[in-house]
Amino acid sequence: MEEHGKQAPEIDVLLVGLGSTPGLRIADAELARSLRRAGARVAVVETPHPGDVRTLALTDLLWARAARHAAREALGRLTQPQLPSLIYSTTTAALLWPLPGAIRFDAPSAANRSGRHGLWQRPLERRRLRQAPLLLPWSEGGLAEACAAVPDCAARALVLPAPIEIAAPGGASPAQGVEHTADGHAAGRSERDIAAITYAGNPRKKGLDRVLAAWRRARRPGERLVVVGISRAGLAAAGFELSDADIHVTGSIAHAELRALMRRARVFLCAPRREDYGLIQLEALAEGCLLVTTPAPGPYAALAIAHALDPRLVSDELAAALRVALDAPAPGYVERAAELVEPFGRASTDRLVTEQLLPRLLSR
């Protein structure tokens, strides 16, 4: 591969990133950095957005075609004698692959594309899961869903969590947020000046309607809810009209800005209808937020942690759980959360990549 008249360096791993959501883009970038820290020469193929369409089946087709085209172009530019190992980010990126490779995924289409939404994806996905030399599910739950469709897949799998940045110790406890007088009015603030934060990049899937209903029942004067990941125009297009003075909508923001907002929030509030992993919930726990969530189906990695930390905060009665988190947080919640999310941090992922993933990739 020639760049500016010079021979391009050889690569060991070609990561075909789908990048259809912010979480996927973050996970792809983290995996590439982890592989490089392990000593691998890595190139990342970024799949361009193919445009928005109305159905999930057509959306997946356009993304799969775009990923195939991007991978073919990258492979066609290589001049090295031996092909690199390929990793496809998500089963969608692998559906129309030009060459077999490892598949990294949070959840398979067999689980999150039911009925007509996965009519063509599910059978092709089963074929790709059988053909892949290595499967890299984000969680044990994601692996279980894949093995339900392809029973022999566990022998070729390595559970590799999408790593998060573990926050430095210190900072205000969620219990140190807004204090209230007997009549319910705010009496003072600390660093945690936001009562609750929620992510609504896909408002229907993320259950924003349930989050808003719970917030409106539970809120008190002086408390604020921050909605990130979508603009007011995007909310309006999805059928949400917000005029509440105590609800602030940020729109799409940089990842560093999101983490900064989490450090100011006492609670991360969510009610997903299905959760394929829950990367942002893990990050919220790492930043010292209390996680108030509904017990959503799917390989929801943060759900077991949330339940272990305080089962009162995992409930379909979201408004009551929110009030408990704001008024009577469990002692030691933040410290225990930091311990439980440690296995999802970069250091743990780096060990898996160095000791298990890279040797299996390079052995080819």
Query: How confident is the model over 96-127, as pLDDT tens digits?
Result: 999 999 999 999 988 888 888 888 999 999 99
User: Where do the domains of the chain lie, and which CATH numbers do they carry?
Assistant: 2-163+345-362 (3.40.50.2000), 174-344 (3.40.50.2000)
Distance CA 324, CA 328 (A): 5
Q: At what angle do helices 301-309 and 279-286 cross, to 10 degrees?
A: 40
Q: Three-class SS of residue 162?
A: coil
Q: How many residues can be counted in the chain?
A: 364
Report phi then psi at 286, rounded to 5: -65, -30
Q: Three-class SS of residue 199?
A: strand
In this prediction, residue 2 has a pLDDT band, given cuts at 50, 70 and 90, of: very low
Query: How confident is the model over 284-303, as pLDDT tens digits?
Result: 999 999 999 999 999 999 99
Question: Which has the closest alpha carbon to 38: 362, 363, 361, 351?
Answer: 351
Query: How confident is the model over 46-80, as pLDDT tens digits?
Result: 999 999 888 999 999 999 999 999 999 999 999 99
Beta carbons of 284 and 306 less than 8 angstroms apart = no
